[in-house]
Amino acid sequence: MSLARRLAHADSRYNAAASTIAIVKKPVAWLAGALGIAGLWRLLRRRRGRVAAPAETPPADDPAEALRAKLAETRDAEPEPEPSSLEERRRAVHDAGRAAIDEMRSPDGGGDANDTSPN
């Protein structure tokens, strides 16, 4: 067989294969599309069924109401502390700060206040 005949024969086989692929591609694409639409429809139908069911059944016990009641009991049981004046609060904060500084400066409290070396 000559080279020209071989090429023509190979070309005809290629064209035949291409035409059969095209024949199969379209139905496969339609089938895939139909399966996708059917799956989407089924998924949406299931979601609608799930949403409707919980709305029909009333809850037996509302945990939020139980927690609100418990919180109200706790608030009623503990009296609120008297609000102190601004000067009293400042004095208490400064006293606590001085106590912390004194503790740091003491030999038992963790070292000298002038010591800047890392521990």
**The pLDDT of residue 58 is above 60:** no
User: What confidence category does residue 60 fall into, taking pLDDT thresholds of 50, 70 and 90?
Assistant: low
- Structure confidence at residue 39 (pLDDT): 94
**The pLDDT of residue 45 is above 80:** yes
- Structure confidence at residue 102 (pLDDT): 93
Q: What is the pTM of this model?
A: 0.29
Q: Write down the domain spans for the chain.
A: 1-57, 85-113
Q: Taking every pair of C-alpha atoms in the chain, what is the biggest distance, in angstroms?
A: 113
For 68, the token pair is 């609100």
Higher per-residue confidence, 58 vs 94: 94
Contact 103, 109 (CB under 8 A): yes
**DSSP string across 79-104:** PPPPPPPHHHHHHHHHHHHHHHHHHH
Contact 105, 112 (CB under 8 A): yes
- Structure confidence at residue 85 (pLDDT): 84
